[in-house]
A and B are shown apart, each in its own frame.
Chain A
Amino acid sequence: MTLKADIKILIVDDMTTMRKIIKNMLTQIGFTNITEADDGAVAWPMIQNAIKEGSPYEFIVSDWNMPQMSGLDLLKNVRATEGLEKLPFLMITAEAEQGNVVIAVKAGVSNFIVKPFSPQVLKEKIDKIFK
């Protein structure tokens, strides 16, 4: 499938630097409808509100380690919500441990990417998720 440029994307990362880097990469890839949240605890109500407003997010890109709600807990909340069982969810982390990958897969992650990464790697993962 050809992915729409205006697919509704939410970037979740507590570091402004990382949000800027990821947004920059997604923009380079061609995406135009990108929103940011600085923690899972901020993202979760945004995701719920977007559903209520009839304009749900179509793709979540989330960091793992965040101070209030981790990416893993955000993922678990998403997967436990009716209608969001298949919402594409890309986890980004600096932790490249086998255990973490298995935990994320069990929780229903769509794909997993390790920092640092290039726009090409990000695009490959997105293509794989949406193929």
Chain B
Amino acid sequence: MSIINDPSMKEIVIDFCNEAEELFDQLEQALENLEENPSNTKELEKFGQIIDRIMGAAKSIGASEIALFCELGKVIGYKSSQVKDIPLIEVVGAILFDSLHMLRKMVTALKLGDDKSMANLNTKAFATRLTWLSAKFKDIDRASCAVDNLSQSSIDDIMQSLGL
């Protein structure tokens, strides 16, 4: 049973939500800074780093939809930080603002245990939009943005082949 569905782990889920909300404020600040100066793409790199931290914890508690949003946001943030096309960066900023808004709603629903609210968010349509945007940067190589993450067993095989 994942942590999110384990009543005895409710405290950890609430902690996650509180922690995520604090980091959302940092994400919002990064996007506001980008909005003021779209050529300052370091803010997109910062966005990627912060949302990456939320992603790991979301995966660990079993909040898969939140983790997916974070994963797409991370890839878009990291990769778009390397482009110089200002109109595209402005689109990225706007969509990331929207995804942040959606993430806040998802985390609030999780915190309140409000499954109905979560179901009404239509996250799948939004995830499709994020996937479409991330595909715009598919030709950009960037560490920490694996297209296909390896499974633990594949990692174990690599470790073994490297002598561990």
Please choose the segment from B53-61, B90-98, B126-134 that sits at the chain A interface, where 4 or more of its residues have CB less than 8 A away. Answer: B53-61
Chain A: interface residue total (CB-CB under 8 A): 33
Instruction: Give the complex CA separation of A65 and B46 in angstroms.
Output: 12
Known contacts: A15-B19, A94-B55, A105-B164. The answer to whether A114 contacts B149 by CB under 8 A is yes
Chain B: interface residue total (CB-CB under 8 A): 31
- Taking a contact as CB atoms under 8 Å apart, the answer to whether A65 and B159 are in contact is no
Q: Does chain A have a CB within 8 A of B102?
A: no
Q: Does chain B have a CB within 8 A of A44?
A: no
**B1-27 vs A, Cβ < 8 Å mask (1 yes, 0 no):** 011000000001001100100000000
- Taking a contact as CB atoms under 8 Å apart, the answer to whether A67 and B49 are in contact is yes
**B52-73 vs A, Cβ < 8 Å mask (1 yes, 0 no):** 1111110111100000000000
If over half of A's interface residues share one DSSP class (helix, strand or loop), that class is named, otherwise mixed; here it is mixed
Which of B15, B61, B146 is close to A96, meaning CB atoms less than 8 Å apart?
B146
Instruction: Give the complex CA separation of A21 and B11 in angstroms.
Output: 11
Instruction: Give the complex CA separation of A100 and B150 in angstroms.
Output: 11
Q: Tell me the minimal C-beta distance from A71 to chain B in angstroms.
A: 11
**A108-120 vs B, Cβ < 8 Å mask (1 yes, 0 no):** 0111111111000
**A77-103 vs B, Cβ < 8 Å mask (1 yes, 0 no):** 000000000000000011111111110
- Taking a contact as CB atoms under 8 Å apart, the answer to whether B19 and A17 are in contact is yes
Which of A24, A67, A96, A97 is close to B143, meaning CB atoms less than 8 Å apart?
A97
Residues in B lying within 8 Å of A, measured CB to CB: 2-3, 12, 15-16, 19, 49, 52-57, 59-62, 143-144, 146, 149-152, 154-155, 158-159, 162-164
